[in-house]
Structure 1
Amino acid sequence: MLVQERLGRPDVDADSEALATACNHELRVNVPAASAKRRGFRCLYLVDAATLFVAMAAITVARFGFDWPTYPRSHYFVGFAIATLLHMTVYYFGGLYEFEQRIGHRPWLPRALLLTLVAVGCDATVTLLTGRYLMPRGNLVVLAVAGAVLISFNRWGARRVRLLRAGKPRMLLVGSPGDIASAVQHLADAETDAVIAGSVTDPALIVAEVDRLGATELLLVSDQALGIVYPEPLGELERRDVGVFRLIAPADTLLGLQRTRQIGGMPFVALREHALPASRLRFKRLLDLAYLALLAPIALPLAAAVALYVRVVGGRGVLYRQERVGRAGVPFVLVKFRTMERDAEADGPVLAASNDPRVTNGMSWLRRTRLDELPQLWNVLTGTMSLVGPRPERPQIVARLEGEIAGYARRHDVPPGITGLAQTQAHYQTDPGYKLGHDLQYVVNWSPVLDWEILAKSLVVMARRNAR
């Protein structure tokens, strides 16, 4: 521990102890409950909304005084309210209201400026579609800059309020004695807004020491395998709002890391149990519903035609239902058109293979073109699946692969999809480990543009396989 004599074991050498003692001015535990921290952070909804509304009115007054042009004042107040709602929606789905740790935070202004520009574009789009000006046109230019600055200032203010109410962040260092000593020296010189609560060399003691010392951040300062924290205790620490950061080793730069954080003059990367925050998952869900609305006029008649074909060629039992593993490892019932014999898995679950002999005559083209997956649009509508994502597997196969492939459960961070990156880059017979690489690449890099790219490529793959 930080001070050898207190625990009676030499976890840290004498130099490290002296440095840490100098930095550790307070060892009190003054950490609010996780729910209280999140509640305080979410107060920014109201603060940001009020700030934007007042800013829109102030910009108008600055330009025109109190004699506003063209429309009555009530018209503009309604427009300001609509514009505020649009901005808040963009900010939410852009991740500005995800809980942030207090050390190593990224600059707010670039993110706020980008999202404000998107929101201003939404304001202009509403005007074009409805013919209703939410505010004088020139105000949008001023709002694009002023809104970003004000939103960033609110976050600076919120950070200061958190510091006053909760005290300085308390860091627990994990690593070898030498690495801890070096990190303590850097933190003592550069990280004045945080306190070193302690250190530990045994990863098994992490949770106990976090509780004992009231640590709010955990810093991995040695080049250790991520298995010491993932999936546990990373999940438990995340539920407690304890930030986990890993020091970037020189070899890590070969991975092309871009989203790094500076803590005490040292580069760290934040570790999270889940790849996508809740706001982005909800945005993905909204996009799925929008895509379904656009696809319905084509998908419904096509599904009816395929259902009739399956009934004629394969007989009764047009639909096939099977339990699969969905987001967060929760099982659900997947629906698809039956293309295999009814007793295809009489001897237990078996991964599908190329030219699988269990496929009924006349049905192989449905599998090549993925038209047998059309009923899964119902799964997308109910929220158990997404249009794009890792393909769901059966519980028995998932249990086996999780034991064989490290990190396999991470593919469940997002809802499973009808198609996915692995489906456009691999085949039925591709090794599950290689498919996992594609799935994790999708999970970490998800964006609407990536979904569009995969959907477009899926159509190409379907056309090519059907042409064979």
Structure 2
Amino acid sequence: MSGTTDARKLALFLGDITIFYVSLFAVLMLRYYGTESDLLIPLHLKPFSALFIVWILVFIVMGLYELRHASNNLKFIQMLTQAMAVNAVLTVATFYFIPAFGIAPRLNLFGVILLATLLLFAWRKLALLLFKTITKESALFLGITDEIAAFAEYLEANSQFGYRVAGLMRTDHEPGSVPASLNIIAFQRDLHSFVRREKISLIVISPVVAENSEILGGLMALLPLGIGIRPFSSFYEEITGKVPISMITERWFLENPPVRQKFFFDAVKRAVDVAGAMILAAPTAIFTPIIAFAIKLETPGPIFYKQRRVGKNGELFIIYKFRSMAANAETNGAQWASEDDPRITRVGGVLRRTRLDELPQILSILKGDLSFVGPRPERPEFVEELRKIIPFYDIRHSVKPGLTGWAQINFPYGASAKDSYRKLQYDLFYIKNRSIALDITTLLKTIKTVLSRAGR
């Protein structure tokens, strides 16, 4: 992550924390000014500080520190509203059900929540304006393809990331089309003089440029100037959270081996999988007879649905789910499931939206075929088709598949080969960057997805 994006995320975080405490102190001073405020502030400080940590975690889960969401559009307003609604529920529940906090009157809670919400909207709007006006890194894209041009246009339109696109510089053999809004620059043999004259602080190089020893030699001479030089793929990953499949080659996988050993991570991940599956065994046992009765009441057929899936190293395994479709849903063979699939029953629709249909998969987790987090396993019929048309598709089978994954929380629904291509970009990002922190982030955002009834 670059210093610019890190600094902006830190600014958002510090601004939010400041607003939380300002809201608390303001409410107390307005209600008790000149009387008991000196005594009440210490009384409120400890419990509210604990809650503010939870508020920040909710903001992280809701994606409010991801710069690609830092906008004043309707989606961002909805995200911030939802986050504060969740925080309000958690806050009220905490103070009402934990009498030890002893905060009274309860009206103070609503005052802090309301004032914080209003100030947050104002602060985030101000922050976005500041991000658009303060000094930004000047980025030059060296080498042009359609993908690079599209990404540069996206970066230029989203100045909250902290970059200004100085232009796209052609090399000798690049026919990529470029939007009229972007500045096209003829190749400069004297890059040193050009970079200093145009005050370039970052150069993003295409895969073609990365293979050109002559150009690379010129770029090496820029390093003493403090110019950042980034491969396009890594810069794209940083901004979007996915890997540009069309812009990588076999060399990328040699430099980022998907099967490199992570003994500590794998051990912790397996322990968490087993512990989590055992914890979920109790609610699964409770819900199973209720779900079974509802399934049978609506449609004839089995309660459980079993299916072959492709796991780690391409090995097949069986997953079990509560049946959410009509019993004869696939009489004509395997079919892609769509978001509003007519084969889904009414009970099945509820099960899918709440993810209760996934509960039997704890058996696969206990057996070791499945993890809680990883690329979602596909059916062998689809894998056979997808590996023919999507480059590097089988790389997703280099790690254990998951009940949820980075692709599922970032790409709402996949129901075609084209969607699978886009989801593979996120799967490769996860495989390259898999860690305990990324798994925790994925699990927390999955909870958000379930609560908002979105995603697959």
Q: TM-score, normalised by structure 2?
A: 0.43
Q: TM-score, normalised by structure 1?
A: 0.42
Compare relative contact order (CA 8 Å, sep 6+) and give the higher one, 1 or 2: 1
More helix by percentage: 2
The higher radius of gyration belongs to: 1
